[in-house]
Amino acid sequence: MSATPIQSRESQTAAPAPRYKMAVARWLALFPLLVAITVLASPLLDKLPPLLRVFLVSIVLVGLMTWVTMPLVTKWLGFWLLSAPTSEQ
Supply φ then ψ for residue 15, to 5 degrees. -70, 150
Does the global pTM surpass 0.95? no
Residue 22 in any domain: the answer is: no
What pLDDT digit, counting tens, does each position of 8-62 carry? Answer: 555 566 788 999 999 999 999 999 999 999 899 999 999 999 999 999 999 999 9
Q: What is the reported pLDDT for 7?
A: 52
78 found inside a domain: yes
Beta carbons of 72 and 80 less than 8 angstroms apart: no
At 70 the pLDDT is 95
Residue 69 falls within a domain, yes or no?
A: yes
* Structure confidence by residue, pLDDT tens digits, 49-78: 999 999 999 999 999 999 999 999 999 999
The angle subtended at Cα 63 by Cα 67 and Cα 30, nearest 5°, is 85
How far is it, in rounded angstroms, from Cα 8 to Cα 62?
35
| 20 inside domain | no
Structural domain containing residue 73: 43-82
| Whole-angstrom distance, CA of residue 35 vs CA of residue 52 | 19
Q: Cα–Cα distance between 61 and 66 in angstroms, integer?
A: 8
Number of domains in the chain: 1
Residue predicted with more confidence, 79 or 5:
79
Residue 54 belongs to a domain: yes
